Amino acid sequence: MFNPFFKKHGPFDIGHLLKTSNTPNLENYSKIIVKDIKDLTTAEKNTITFFHSKKYEIVASKTKASFCITTNILSKLLPENCKPIIVDNVLIATANITKVFYADAVVDNFDHTVEFIENINFKNKIKYGKNVLIGKNVKIGENCSIGHNSIIESNVLIGDNCSIGSNVIIRKTIIKDNVNILDGCVIGKKGFGFFPIQNENIRYPHIGIVIIENNSEIGCGSTIDRGSLSNTIIGKNTYLDNQVHIAHNNKIGDNCIIAGQVGLAGSSILGNNVVIGGQAGISGHLTIGNNIKIGGGSGVIKNIADNTKVMGYPAKNLKNFIKDNK
């Protein structure tokens, strides 16, 4: 994953890493170098991963990570190459270790490095409004425009022929070519992910980013949160209407149409040619196939197979919805 946004600290000796993050080191590991923290699938040798639920059993059994934060019971399911780090609460330990690698990805304070665009080199090649703020190392292609009061934070990449509206905030995001971001959007803030603890929830770093592919459009006042360990992706030629909320880690395919006030709860995968009516909601961790129509106001709480039309709360096959509501 190309990710210009988060400075990764390390590598660390495993003993040092566990100590710094207040993680118990029951097996007294040391001397092995750990370069990064990754999810079970993308982890490689000399990285650390985490495994907190039996439903990830199959990917866990094949992980290439050198270490895995997990529970005593789940640790039996890991392959030999992967040494378990047994903890009481996998997610909290994972957050703590991730914070050592990515200290600056926990909160989203505003980017204080921005400058008025008048002070930036590329000001001559784009059309810009009043009071536009640009962070360090931002790159913008040919023939773009940025509206009034918009803020493009550090390291954001924008392709050619993009139109950014007014009052827009973009951070930790890669935007490809021919993309329109309409007024008032907030793109790339950290997701709504934390560990609920009485009196003081624990935030974890969000080191995923937002990627918006070619020819897409994001409607006014929409919010697209960046991923935690993976990215949030808007596919090619996918159009979002106003006031849409795309939570962290969602991956939306190409040629989708998402009407006003739709919400995606997080970590779902949508195929191509998915059409979603206004105010529909999609629960988290679902797989929505290709060529799907989801009626307005639906509440989708199960996976949807290819070439299906659904409607209802909870969403069911459209024919059944019509029959049941005659």
> CA-CA distance, 36 to 229, in Å (whole number)?
11
Q: φ, ψ for residue 305 (rounded to 5)?
A: -75, 160
Q: Is 158 in the site for its own copies (CB under 8 A)?
A: no
Of 84 and 135, CB closest to its own copies: 135
Q: Which of 243, 291, 308, 317 binds its own copies (CB under 8 A)?
A: 243
Residue type at 224?
I
Compare residues 84 and 266 and give the one whose CB is closer to its own copies. 266
**Of 9, 16, 112, 248, which residue is the catalytic one?**
248
Q: Give the torsion sign (CA, 107, 109, 114, 117).
A: positive
Query: What 3 state SS string does 227-260 have?
Result: CCCCCEEECCCCEECCCCEECCCCEECCCCEECC
Other Cβ atoms closer than 10 A to 207:
27
Q: Is 200 in the site for its own copies (CB under 8 A)?
A: yes
Instruction: Measure Cα distances from 253 to 84, 87, 119, 164, 245 in Å.
Output: 35, 37, 38, 22, 16
* In the complex, least distance from residue 243 CB atom to its own copies, rounded to whole angstroms: 5
Say whether residue 183 binds its own copies (CB under 8 A).
yes
257 binds its own copies (CB under 8 A): yes
Among 14, 97, 151, 179, binds its own copies (CB under 8 A): 151
Per-residue binding string, its own copies, 113-132, x by CB under 8 A, is -x-x----------x-xxx-
166 binds its own copies (CB under 8 A): yes
Q: Is 314 in the site for its own copies (CB under 8 A)?
A: yes
Token reading at 137: 């190392």
- Report if residue 180 touches its own copies, rule: CB under 8 A: yes
Helix (H) or strand (E) run with residue 322 in it: helix 318-324
Alpha-carbon distance 39 to 292, whole Å? 29
Considering the complex, state which of residue 86 and residue 310 has its C-beta at the smaller distance from its own copies.
310
Binding mask 61-80 for its own copies (x = CB under 8 A): --------------------
According to the binding rule CB under 8 A, does residue 283 interact with its own copies? yes
| 146 or 158: CB nearest its own copies | 146
